Amino acid sequence: MTKPMNKIDELLEKLCPNGVAFKGLGECITKNIGGGTPSKANTSYWNGDIPWASVGDLTINGITINSTRNCITEDGLKHSSSHIVPKNSVIVAVKISPGKMKISGMDIAINQDLRGLLLQDFINNRFLTYYFQTVSVVGNGTIVKGITVDFLNRIQIPIPPFAIQQEIVKILDTFTTLEAELEAELEAELEARKKQYEYYREELLTFGDDVEWKTLGEVGKFLRGTAITVKETTDGKIPVVANAPKPICFHGESNRNGETIVIARSGANAGLVSFWSQPIFLTDAFSLHVDATLLKAKFVYYLLKQKQETLHSMKKGSGVPHVRVKEFETYPIPIPPLSEQKRIVTILDKFDALVNDISIGLPAELNARRKQYEYYRNQLLTFKPLEEENAC
């Protein structure tokens, strides 16, 4: 990427030695089209042939919208404030995800949270869309964030010569294509690793009658967490753990130390098993403490995690679902020699880190590629502002 960037820099220096002019977005458009939503109560307005976009359709990969989740009929278009945005126009969100921008790959109707922009001939639609990926747009509103059309029009856009815009687009198009292909390869590899991990976990954690079996109640003790609210916590870095896989907040004190198996007690995650090897403050959940002379805590965690769906199915209650200790106490587990447990844990730890840990392995590679793309994109789309009246 260094050579193309140098080429762009050389062109800018040659054509725009005094900097690049910036214009408000409003000066870059010939038409700003609003949208609307046909009545959901009238079924004749929906499931037609006209693609109809909302903010959710702007979350797709790539910078072009070629399909939408919903379609409307001619009647729906006629009896609503929605309008058709022509193919190759720019579509930008003004609510929910203000500033999110894509290009219409077809004639498309839009809802009230979007605007369709027809551009002046001095600005490339793909250049503008790439540039908006670097713009931080903060909306107003406590529940639904939004910006006004006037605010949108005042966002400053660099206007380098059209040839330079095209060259930048060409580079970023190539880069995003390569990135998408690589991401697809890495995601396929990640999925393959997950299946491989599941296979080996199943193999390693399958035991028969050749080992002793006991119930969790015979080899461990369940302890309920201590109730605490966020307001009652003190400053500190100790995770407060309840019915979610991540801390709900942090505290200055712990009530569990060492290796701790946690089982979510209630809510949508009731029965969820997590493992903590650091001090935590356990609140609305159970911790399981096994007899260290018989079992390694991490081995028991992997056994339970292997049967996560089964544990979720142990939920009771028509309102807020919950799991009960007495049912976990009757859950049977194998007890192979401690040396075998240690060997299994070592193998599964390596697979688990490779698949799940964002700091190493394939997920880290995916994240690194995205950051690399963002870096080069930002470098290519950073311009020296205009210094003199006769500058480019």
Per-residue pLDDT of 210-233, as tens digits, reads: 999 999 999 999 999 999 988 999
**Residue partners of 14: CB distance under 8 A and separation at least 6:** none
**Residue partners of 345: CB distance under 8 A and separation at least 6:** 296, 298, 299, 302
pLDDT on residue 177: 85
> Is the pLDDT score of 361 beyond 80?
no
Within-domain flag for 386: yes
Amino acid sitting at position 120: Q
Per-residue pLDDT of 17-70, as tens digits, reads: 778 899 999 999 999 999 999 999 999 999 999 999 999 999 888 899 999 999
Residues 368 and 249 grouped into a single domain: no
Per-residue pLDDT of 232-255, as tens digits, reads: 999 999 999 998 888 999 999 999
pLDDT on residue 317: 78
> Is the pLDDT score of 387 beyond 70?
no
Q: What's the structural domain count of the chain?
A: 3
DSSP, residue by residue, 268-314: TTTT-EEEE-S-BEE-SEEEEEE-TTT--HHHHHHHHHHTHHHHHTT
> Is the pLDDT score of 2 beyond 60?
no
In angstroms, the CA 221 to CA 257 distance is 15
User: What are the beta bridge partners of residue 91?
Assistant: 102, 116
% of the chain residues with pLDDT over 70: 95
The residue whose two tokens read 């670097």 is 134
In angstroms, the CA 180 to CA 175 distance is 9
User: What are the beta bridge partners of residue 146?
Assistant: 95, 140
Question: What would the mean pLDDT of 169-178 be, rounded to a whole number?
Answer: 88
> Is the pLDDT score of 191 beyond 90?
no
Half-sphere exposure of 226 (CA within 13 A, CB side): 12
> Is the pLDDT score of 297 beyond 70?
yes
pLDDT on residue 12: 72
Residues 86 and 56 grouped into a single domain: yes
In angstroms, the CA 55 to CA 48 distance is 19
Residues 34 and 104 grouped into a single domain: yes
Length of the chain: 392
- The answer to whether the CB of 83 falls within 8 A of the CB of 110 is yes
Question: What would the mean pLDDT of 349-365 be, rounded to a whole number?
Answer: 75
In angstroms, the CA 324 to CA 332 distance is 15
Residues 213 and 331 grouped into a single domain: yes
Question: Which CA distances in Å does 144 have to 19, 94, 97, 113, 140?
Answer: 38, 10, 9, 10, 8
Look up residue 126 and give its two tokens.
């793909």
- Helix, strand or coil for residue 322? strand
The single-letter DSSP state of residue 211 is S
The residue whose two tokens read 């095209």 is 166
**Residue partners of 185: CB distance under 8 A and separation at least 6:** none
Residues 36 and 130 grouped into a single domain: yes
Residues 317 and 384 grouped into a single domain: no
- The answer to whether the CB of 5 falls within 8 A of the CB of 378 is no
In this prediction the pTM is: 0.66
Within-domain flag for 217: yes
In angstroms, the CA 192 to CA 199 distance is 10
- The answer to whether the CB of 296 falls within 8 A of the CB of 184 is no
CA 209 to chain centre: 44
Residues 223 and 124 grouped into a single domain: no
> Is the pLDDT score of 85 beyond 70?
yes
Residues 149 and 265 grouped into a single domain: no
Residues 254 and 221 grouped into a single domain: yes
In angstroms, the CA 334 to CA 300 distance is 9
Question: Cα dihedral angle (19, 25, 30, 34), rounded to 10 degrees?
Answer: 170
Within-domain flag for 241: yes
Angle between helices 162-204 and 361-380 (to 10 degrees): 170
Label residue 359 by pLDDT band (50, 70, 90).
low
- Helix, strand or coil for residue 19? coil
The residue whose two tokens read 């062109």 is 11
Within-domain flag for 197: no
Per-residue pLDDT of 310-354, as tens digits, reads: 888 888 877 788 899 999 999 999 999 999 999 999 999 988 887
Residues 226 and 351 grouped into a single domain: no
- Determine the longest span between alpha carbons in the chain, in angstroms: 87
DSSP, residue by residue, 149-193: HHHHHHSEEE---HHHHHHHHHHHHHHHHHHHHHHHHHHHHHHHH
Phi, psi of 199 (to 5 degrees): -65, -50
Within-domain flag for 382: yes
Mean pLDDT, the chain, rounded, equals 90
Residues 8 and 58 grouped into a single domain: no
Of 297, 317, 335, the domain-final residue: 335
Within-domain flag for 279: yes
Label residue 389 by pLDDT band (50, 70, 90).
low
**Residue partners of 51: CB distance under 8 A and separation at least 6:** 67, 68, 71, 106, 107, 108, 109
> Is the pLDDT score of 1 beyond 70?
no
Question: What would the mean pLDDT of 162-185 be, rounded to a whole number?
Answer: 87
> Is the pLDDT score of 288 beyond 60?
yes
Within-domain flag for 240: yes
Within-domain flag for 269: yes
Q: Which domain holds residue 354?
A: 1-21+159-192+337-392
The CATH number that applies at residue 94 is: 3.90.220.20
In angstroms, the CA 179 to CA 1 distance is 13
Residues 314 and 327 grouped into a single domain: yes
**Residue 41 CB neighbours (<10 A):** 6
